[in-house]
A and B are shown apart, each in its own frame.
Chain A
Amino acid sequence: MAKATNSLPRTIAAHAILLLYTVIALAPVVVIVINSFKSRNAIFRTPLAPPTAETFDLIGYQTVLGQGDFLLYFQNSFIVTVGSLFLVLLFGAMAAFALAEYRFKGNTLMGLYLALGIMIPIRLGTVAILQLMVASGLVNTLTALILVYTAQGLPLCIFILSEFMKQVSDDLKDAGRIDGLSEYRIFFRLVLPLVRPAMATVAVFTMIPIWNDLWFPLILAPSESTKTITLGAQLFIGQYVTNWNAVLAALSLAILPVLILYVIFSRQLIRGITSGAVK
Chain B
Amino acid sequence: MAEETERKRRRWHIAVFLAPAILVYTAIMILPLFGTLQLSLFTADGQSRVFAGLANFRQLFLDPRWSASFWNALGNNVWFFIIHMLVQNPIGILLAALLSSPKLRFSPFYRTAIFIPTILSFVIVGFTWKLILSPLWGVAPNLLDLIGLKSLFVPWLGKEQYALTTLGLISVWQFIGIPMMLIYAALLSIPDEVIEAAECDGITGMAQFWKIKLPLILPSIGIISVLTFVGNFNAFDLIYSAQGALAGPNYSTDILGTFLYRTFFGFQLQTGDPYMGSTIASMMFFIILAGVCLYLFAIQTRLRRYQF
Contacts and interface: CB of A to CB of B under 8 A. Distances in A.
Direct contact of A and B (CB under 8 A): yes
A25 B116 contact: yes
Contacts of A117: 25, 29-30, 33
A205 B228 CA distance: 13
B218 interface: no
A251 B21 contact: no
A74 to B, nearest CB: 13
B108 interface: yes
Interface stretch (B57-65, B69-77, B131-139): B131-139
Interface of A is mostly: helix
Contact of A208 (B29, B98, B118): B118
A152 B29 contact: yes
A222 to B, nearest CB: 15
Contact of A5 (B106, B118, B188, B204): B204
Interface string A194-235: 000110010011001001101000000000000000100110
Chain A interface residue bracket vs B: 35 or more
A263 B237 CA distance: 25
A119 B189 CA distance: 29
A4 B21 CA distance: 49
Contacts, number: 258
Chain B interface residue bracket vs A: 35 or more
Nearest to B117: A25
A187 B17 contact: yes
A109 interface: no
A158 interface: yes
A46 to B, nearest CB: 9
Interface of B is mostly: helix
B114 A6 contact: no
Nearest to B235: A121
Contacts of B205: 4-5, 10
Contacts of A4: 204-205
B192 interface: yes
A154 B24 contact: yes
A121 B257 CA distance: 9
Contact of B185 (A102, A115, A230, A273): A273
Contact of B234 (A5, A10, A121): A121
Contact of A31 (B132, B188, B199, B257): B132
Given A18-B110, A247-B127, A258-B119, A104 B11 contact: yes
B120 interface: yes
B264 interface: yes
B124 A233 contact: yes
A116 B30 contact: yes
B116 A14 contact: no
A211 B32 contact: no
A148 interface: yes
A204 B182 CA distance: 11
A97 B191 CA distance: 23
B2 interface: no
A147 interface: yes
Counting chain B CB atoms within 10 Å of each CB, which of A21, A154, A184 scores highest?
Answer: A21
Interface of A: 3-6, 10-11, 14-15, 17-19, 21-22, 24-26, 28-29, 31-32, 43-44, 47-48, 87, 90-92, 94-95, 97-99, 102, 104, 110, 112-129, 132, 147-148, 150-152, 154-156, 158, 160, 163, 167, 183-184, 187, 197-198, 201, 204-205, 208, 211-212, 214, 230, 233-234, 237, 244, 247, 251, 254-255, 258-259, 262-263, 266-267, 270, 273-274, 276-277, 279
12 contacts: A25-B173, A48-B142, A92-B21, A102-B13, A119-B292, A120-B234, A121-B257, A124-B277, A124-B281, A167-B307, A230-B121, A255-B120
